[in-house]
């Protein structure tokens, strides 16, 4: 089992104006002369915690991380306007150009895997490699499984808490019911829904329950951005047309070296999505971690990701 690298501090931080409304916060860490890599965080709306830096050899990588629109240190906070998948794809390109990077490796898990696929299929010439984890392609069947019926059979106790803000008459369409509350003008209603939405994901992300993760996701500031932005994207089908756009466009990236890491018991992003991506893209290395759920901090997933980043540092 590979362990995390020691925590390092960024050697550069900044803010980049990407539209009249939005400014994104970014940081660089590691070796400024190293192999460039961009980390695309989950959610959408999750932001970049500092421990993400520990998955990358500090002497080999020039690690770029940024908080996507509306979350983390990016501003305005929890903003839904001008916030789509394609806005984020454009932001990644603006950041690459701003930093003077010609090509980079793209690393993303969960929603970050969605965004990695969307970005690489739009700008394949800018991608040296793809390291993906916890595959999510934001298709209706994936959303239905986690937010309507499926994961609820495995975590009925956590599901009961997720149901609480929604009256029984509205529970036939949980995403819509939550969206109405997450966009309410009443801040109390908004925050109650945001905490319940976020804690549901935290309660199901690991093979073994992690109470510290639940506390983090239940924080008002984090939950507001996480829940509002996620639900906004899900209400809009990820802004994909058609629903399986990312699978249909695999030919655009078939030539790019890739690794897919998937926990066998991932309830948030079930393995069927990773399997279907693997079938469409057999050229990418496919790693199933037999004793892991969704989180990148699961020991087996952590180890597989660090092995992948070590290998890709020499591309």
Q: pLDDT by residue (tens digit) across 128-181? A: 999 999 999 999 999 999 999 999 999 999 999 999 999 999 999 999 999 999
Residue 2 located in a structural domain: no
* 110 annotated active-site: yes
Instruction: Tell me the residue ranges of DSSP E strands in 90-140.
Output: 104-109, 127-133
Are 67 and 188 part of one and the same domain?
Answer: no
Residue 79 pLDDT? 98
Are 118 and 21 part of one and the same domain?
Answer: yes
Last residue within a domain, chosen from 189, 215, 238:
238
Helix (H, G, I), strand (E, B) or coil at 12: strand
Distance CA 43, CA 225 (A): 9
Residue 211, C-beta contacts closer than 8 angstroms, at least 6 positions apart: none
Average pLDDT, the chain: 98
CA–CA–CA angle 23, 26, 27 (5° rounding): 160
Last residue within a domain, chosen from 198, 215, 238:
238
Proportion of the chain above pLDDT 90, given as a percent: 100
Contact 88, 69 (CB under 8 A): yes
Helix (H, G, I), strand (E, B) or coil at 13: strand
Distance CA 263, CA 69 (A): 28
Are 38 and 102 part of one and the same domain?
Answer: yes
Statement: the pTM of the whole predicted model exceeds 0.85: yes
Give me the CATH number covering residue 104.
3.40.50.1820
How confident is residue 59, by pLDDT bands cut at 50, 70 and 90? very high
Residue 239 pLDDT? 98
Are 181 and 291 part of one and the same domain?
Answer: no
Q: Which of 22, 74, 91, 110 is catalytic?
A: 110
Contact 305, 133 (CB under 8 A): yes
Residue 125 pLDDT? 98
Residue 212 located in a structural domain: yes
Are 288 and 198 part of one and the same domain?
Answer: no
Task: Please list the residues that pair with 260 across neighbouring strands.
Answer: 132, 286
Residue 5 located in a structural domain: no
Residue 11, C-beta contacts closer than 8 angstroms, at least 6 positions apart: 28, 29, 30, 32
Convert 25-53 to b/e letters by CB count within 10 Å (16 or more is b).
bbbbbbbeebbbbbbbbbbbbbbbeeebb
Contact 298, 186 (CB under 8 A): no
Q: Running DSSP on this structure, what letter comes out for residue 75?
A: B
Residue 3 located in a structural domain: no
Q: Which of 67, 294, 295, 303 is catalytic?
A: 294
Last residue within a domain, chosen from 187, 213, 238:
238
Residue 28 located in a structural domain: yes
Q: Which of 67, 91, 210, 266 is catalytic?
A: 266
Q: pLDDT by residue (tens digit) across 229-285? A: 999 999 999 999 999 999 999 999 999 999 999 999 999 999 999 999 999 999 999
* 266 annotated active-site: yes
Residue 215 pLDDT? 97
Task: Please list the residues that pair with 127 across neighbouring strands.
Answer: 104
How confident is residue 96, by pLDDT bands cut at 50, 70 and 90? very high
Are 220 and 205 part of one and the same domain?
Answer: yes
Contact 98, 54 (CB under 8 A): no
Residue 135 located in a structural domain: yes
Contact 38, 72 (CB under 8 A): no
How confident is residue 300, by pLDDT bands cut at 50, 70 and 90? very high
Are 133 and 148 part of one and the same domain?
Answer: no
Domain that holds residue 189: 141-238
Averaged over 194-211, what is the pLDDT? Answer: 97
Beta-carbon count within 10 A of 247 CB: 17
Are 122 and 249 part of one and the same domain?
Answer: yes
Alpha carbon dihedral 219, 220, 226, 230, in 10-degree steps, equals 130
Are 161 and 227 part of one and the same domain?
Answer: yes
272 sits in which H/E element = helix 271-280
Are 126 and 53 part of one and the same domain?
Answer: yes
Could you give the number of structural domains in the chain? Answer: 2
């Amino acid at each position: 089992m590979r362990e995390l690298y020691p925590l390092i501090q960024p050697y550069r931080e900044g803010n980049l104006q990407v539209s009249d409304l939005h400014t994104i916060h970014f940081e660089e860490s590691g070796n400024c002369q190293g192999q460039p890599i961009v980390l695309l965080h989950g959610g959408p709306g999750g932001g970049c915690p500092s421990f993400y830096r520990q998955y990358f050899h500090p002497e080999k990588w020039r690690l770029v991380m940024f908080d996507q629109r509306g979350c983390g240190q990016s501003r305005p906070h929890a903003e839904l306007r001008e916030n789509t998948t394609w806005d984020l794809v454009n932001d990644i390109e603006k950041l690459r150009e701003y930093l003077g990077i010609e090509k980079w490796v793209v690393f993303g898990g969960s929603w970050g895997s969605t965004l990695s696929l969307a970005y690489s299929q739009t700008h394949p010439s800018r991608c040296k490699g793809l390291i993906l984890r916890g595959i999510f392609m934001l298709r209706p069947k994936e959303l239905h499984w986690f937010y309507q019926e499926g994961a609820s059979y495995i975590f009925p106790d956590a599901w009961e808490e997720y149901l609480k803000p929604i009256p029984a008459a509205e529970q036939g369409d949980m995403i819509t019911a939550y969206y109405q509350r997450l966009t309410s003008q009443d801040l109390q209603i908004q925050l109650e829904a945001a905490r319940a939405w976020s804690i549901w994901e935290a309660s199901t992300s690991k093979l073994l329950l992690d109470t510290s993760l639940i506390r983090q996701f239940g924080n008002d500031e984090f939950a507001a951005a996480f829940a509002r932005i996620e639900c906004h994207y899900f209400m809009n089908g990820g802004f994909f047309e058609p629903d399986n756009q990312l699978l249909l466009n695999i030919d655009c990236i078939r030539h790019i070296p890739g690794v897919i890491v998937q926990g066998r018991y991932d309830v948030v992003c079930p393995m069927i999505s990773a399997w279907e991506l693997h079938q469409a893209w057999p050229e990418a290395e496919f790693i199933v971690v037999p004793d892991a759920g969704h989180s990148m901090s699961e020991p087996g997933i952590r180890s597989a990701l660090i092995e992948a980043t070590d290998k890709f540092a020499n591309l």
